[in-house]
């Protein structure tokens, strides 16, 4: 039976952020994730989780200046110190929130950059982060993202993520597999999930095109949910989509899935 986590960055945007925890619980979710916790005090977030009986499933490492378009800093040689400070900050929050997974958004490559050098810096940074997080029993994830929505994003293919895992040589580095992003980039979702299941620690969803809720596009989510069960995926599925209307109005797919399982 899939375990669904509400992505509070994308869902329940009708409400102030701290009110989204209660809304997620009321809608039947048992876990939550969101991009970044750092704008809030750890105790405030922990109180929301405990009050509503929710599991903090995932958050990201600090990713640079988000409002300026940065989507991670792990590929930049001149920001290694900043990256390492961010790892320690992420650990501090993850410990407080009992969050056992942290995702690294690797960054957008400058048009004239040397890809070999960017990859070399990334491998070194991931090795540092994987080791630091392992000491706290927190998994490090990396996420391929499509280059239509985020032009120039350095990590944009499943096989590229698999190669990074091999290059880093850490038992604590895993893949965050976003079905929407990989449908845009490469398709063949079911076979890819099965092939790399041992290294996929977290799955996210949205339909395509539009990045809206399941059932609004081309992806056969009822099949994929059954398939994930069949191949033995036991992790969370993060609902990281843009509701077509309101969040609650778009949750029919979730209610149906809950009834079926």
Which residues are catalytically annotated? 143, 240
List the structure tokens of 204: 């996210």
CA dihedral 242, 95, 130, 189 (to 10 degrees): -30
In order of 22, 164, 196, 225, 236, the CA distances from 230 in angstroms are 32, 27, 15, 9, 15
Quick check: bond before 214 cis, omega within 30?
no
List Cβ neighbours of 212 (8 Å cut-off, separation of 6 or more): 206, 241, 242, 243, 244, 250
| SS3 (DSSP) at 31 | strand
Place of tokens 């990045």: 211
Please say whether the beta carbons of 204 and 240 come within 8 A. yes
Round to whole Å and give the CA distance between 213 and 57. Answer: 20
Q: Whose CA is closest to 143, among 126, 128, 156?
A: 156
User: Phi and psi dihedrals of 125, rounded to 5?
Assistant: -65, -40
């Amino acid at each position: 039976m899939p375990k669904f986590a509400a992505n509070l960055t994308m869902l329940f945007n009708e409400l102030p952020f701290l009110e989204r925890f209660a809304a997620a619980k009321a809608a039947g979710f048992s876990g939550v994730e969101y991009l970044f916790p750092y704008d809030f005090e750890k105790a405030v977030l922990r109180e929301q989780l405990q009050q509503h009986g929710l599991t903090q499933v995932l958050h990201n490492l600090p990713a640079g200046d988000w409002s300026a378009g940065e989507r991670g800093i792990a590929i930049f040689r001149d920001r290694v110190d900043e990256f390492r400070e961010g790892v320690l900050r992420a650990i501090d929050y993850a410990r407080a929130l009992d969050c056992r997974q942290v995702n690294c958004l690797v960054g957008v490559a400058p048009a004239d950059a040397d890809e070999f050098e960017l990859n070399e810096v990334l491998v070194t940074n991931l090795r540092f982060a994987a080791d630091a997080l392992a000491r706290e029993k927190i998994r490090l994830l990396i996420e391929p993202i499509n280059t239509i929505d985020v032009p120039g994003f350095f990590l944009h293919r499943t096989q590229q993520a698999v190669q990074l895992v091999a290059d880093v040589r850490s038992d604590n580095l895993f893949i965050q597999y976003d079905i929407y992003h990989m449908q845009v980039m490469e398709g063949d979702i079911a076979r890819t999930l099965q092939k790399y299941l041992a290294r996929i620690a977290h799955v996210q969803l949205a339909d395509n095109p539009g990045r809206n809720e399941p059932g609004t596009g081309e992806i056969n989510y009822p099949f994929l949910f059954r398939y994930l069960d069949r191949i033995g995926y036991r992790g969370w599925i993060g609902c990281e989509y843009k509701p077509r209307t309101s969040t609650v109005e778009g949750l029919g797919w979730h209610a149906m899935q809950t009834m079926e399982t």
